[in-house]
């Protein structure tokens, strides 16, 4: 685990370095291990592989929609930082990533949020379609999809020009979300829901530059009213400027 005792800046890493870091990161190893266990349970419980196909297919189709909704309305919502009970979680799972988009240590989702979400979405769907084997197959699908999403997410922030047209496209769209206007392009590998709900933009010129692209609306004024994230962060980043500002304590 010594590899993860230092900062990993994707803007300075090569693709081989990313692959090594990615497949030694504890949450990724957890996803892989749980995927293997789930596949083993599928093999043990299934009576026929045919009912598993729709369970897997529905899981693949639902995943982008769930991610879109969570990303847009929860992670980019402004209510989590307003409570001392949810501020630390919001800071860890999304605010820090927008503050420093190329920091690999805060790019990955936290297991205490990702695993319950994957389970809540895939297990009931799989069970309703194909019983216990279907639940295990759907859960394995969610885990593998998460690994794929996380790796693509890393590549989107890596100092690397992919040859794949698919990777080039999703990298461009995601970096616009981080550095131009965060109120759009919420997908990671799939932007169909952005197009459906009107949050897709293919080029920066199609949207005005956002004033909150780095701080997600957690401005200096907000930090004075709701100080918990700022206290944990020792300040926040102002958009368009890498400075850090100090915020007053909650007693002021």
The burial class, CB within 10 Å (0-12 / 13-18 / 19+), for 7 is exposed
Q: Note the pLDDT of residue 109.
A: 84
Question: Distance of CA 72 to CAs 45, 68, 109, 208, 233, Å?
Answer: 37, 6, 15, 18, 23
Contacts of residue 230, defined as CB under 8 A and 6 or more positions apart, other chains included, come to 218, 223, 236, 247
Position 245 pLDDT exceeds 60: no
Per-residue pLDDT reduced to its tens digit, 57-105: 999 999 999 999 999 999 999 999 999 999 999 999 999 999 989 988 8
Whole-model pTM: value is: 0.88
Distance CA 23, CA 29 (A): 7
**Domain residue ranges of the chain, discontinuous segments joined by +:** 2-245
Task: Look at residue 170 and tell me whether its pLDDT is greater than 60.
Answer: yes
pLDDT at 2 over 70: no
């Amino acid at each position: 685990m010594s590899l993860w005792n230092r900062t990993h800046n994707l803007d300075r890493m090569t693709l081989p370095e990313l692959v090594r870091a990615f497949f030694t990161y504890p949450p990724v190893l957890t996803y892989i291990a749980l995927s293997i266990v789930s596949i083993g349970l599928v093999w043990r419980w299934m009576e026929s592989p045919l009912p598993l196909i729709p369970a897997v297919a529905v899981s693949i189709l639902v995943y982008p929609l769930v991610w879109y909704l969570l990303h847009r309305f929860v992670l980019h919502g402004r209510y989590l930082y307003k409570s001392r009970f949810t501020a630390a979680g919001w800071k860890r799972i999304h605010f820090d990533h927008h503050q420093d988009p190329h920091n690999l240590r805060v790019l990955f989702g936290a297991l205490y949020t990702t695993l319950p979400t994957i389970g809540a979405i895939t297990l009931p769907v799989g069970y309703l379609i194909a019983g216990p084997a279907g639940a295990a197959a759907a859960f394995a699908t969610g885990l593998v999809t998460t690994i794929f999403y996380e790796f693509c997410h890393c590549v989107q922030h890596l100092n690397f020009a992919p040859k794949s047209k698919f990777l080039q496209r999703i990298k461009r769209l995601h970096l616009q979300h981080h550095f131009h206007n965060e109120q759009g392009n919420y997908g990671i590998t799939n932007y169909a829901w952005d197009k459906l709900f009107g949050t897709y933009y293919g080029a920066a010129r199609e949207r005005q530059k956002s004033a909150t692209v780095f701080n997600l609306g957690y401005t200096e004024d907000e930090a004075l009213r709701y100080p918990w994230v700022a206290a944990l962060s020792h300040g926040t980043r102002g958009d368009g400027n890498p400075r850090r500002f100090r915020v007053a304590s909650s007693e002021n």
